[in-house]
Structure 1
């Protein structure tokens, strides 16, 4: 074989390896950047979660709202304090859902972290939301439909999902440590 042919084959192979390596690292970097965005959004939204008032309102919505108020008047018929708790809690979770819809937050991450709370809030407010939809004349029911979808996803996520995710993370970290 001619030395110029060998030289061309070797340089072409090196160029191909360089391009493939560059593509792999670019894809990996984009994935890391996307996850970094998800983490900062989650941290910002979860800051509210540390508030005592948030937890008081959350407990109120989940345990007392339906017991103390008839959903017949919808959300609009709730008295001021009940309506404030409803809006603060429901729209908190609606914010997560909106970010997931627009791809700014990984819905599986969010649902994994907030699964039980999302489902309990939806169960508590569902009669009020459905009645509000009727009062608004919404046949398809668009009022809080994104939150409803989030609650459906949360309910479908198996309870062992968090445990499985943690086990997978431990396995991945163990493999990384072994590679060092």
Structure 2
């Protein structure tokens, strides 16, 4: 009887463990599917929007002109076209913060790509964002701020070591099979002998395809008494 109870209890424990493992695997699979659905959005933001020359020029303009502007009016108080440029840059970084906060993309993927730019854009926009929050009396660009906090907490060097990125030694040379082939040496032309320039090789024989000049033979006709010595 006791043995049957122990066997039943063991079967129940095994069933509960299997159910727990199955639930965890299902949750991870669901999370992976959600990440897979949102990953193209993050890649599109990083490659299409962030990589466009227009966006790069807009970001440089913001970084160069905002420090000279008055932050008292907040972001909405910026004059045009500075206001439109700031909104374009803010929307990009805030969208990346939303994707990271909801776990749609890995934090390491974003921080390894644009860590320095996130911190720099937050330092430039911070006084304007805080002034805008004071005007609205509520939250404003909180996902951008969360992304900036993550970027400040993660040292790029530690992230570099965590990912196991390799470094090229100073002065290292590529393997021989990867080096470009050496240019072929061109020998300078050698002057041909006079006989070759005249059409004959050094041996005096005619070149193939060319006939040597024929010697003329003098024909002497012998008349009567030929061969008789003169008197």
Q: Which has the higher contact order (CA 8 A, sep 6+)?
A: 1
In 1: Cα distance, 2:145 partner to 2:154 partner: 14
Residue 26 of structure 1: how far off its partner (Å) = 7.3
CA RMSD for the aligned pairs? 2.9
- From 161, 165, 190, the counterpart of 1:164: 161
- The alignment partner of 1:80 has SS state of coil
Say yes or no: does 1:111 pair with 2:111.
yes
Match of 1:6 in 2: none
In 2: Cα distance, 1:146 partner to 1:84 partner: 20
In 2: Cα distance, 1:134 partner to 1:26 partner: 44
Say yes or no: does 1:131 pair with 2:131.
yes
Structure (1 or 2) with the larger CA radius of gyration: 2
> Does the Cα contact within 8 Å between 2:35 and 2:103 map onto a contact in 1?
no
Residue 32 of structure 1: how far off its partner (Å) = 6.1
5+ unaligned residues in a row in structure 2: which ranges?
A: 1-17, 167-231
TM-score by length of 2: 0.55
Equivalent residues in 2 for 1:26-65 (5 A)?
33=33, 36-37=36-37, 39-46=39-46, 47-65=48-66
Structure 1's 120 and 108: CA in aligned 2 closer, same or farther, altered over 3 A?
Answer: same
5+ unaligned residues in a row in structure 1: which ranges?
A: 1-18, 170-180
Which structure carries more helix by proportion? 1
Structure 1's 29 and 168: CA in aligned 2 closer, same or farther, altered over 3 A?
Answer: farther
TM-score by length of 1: 0.69
> Does the Cα contact within 8 Å between 1:38 and 1:106 map onto a contact in 2?
no
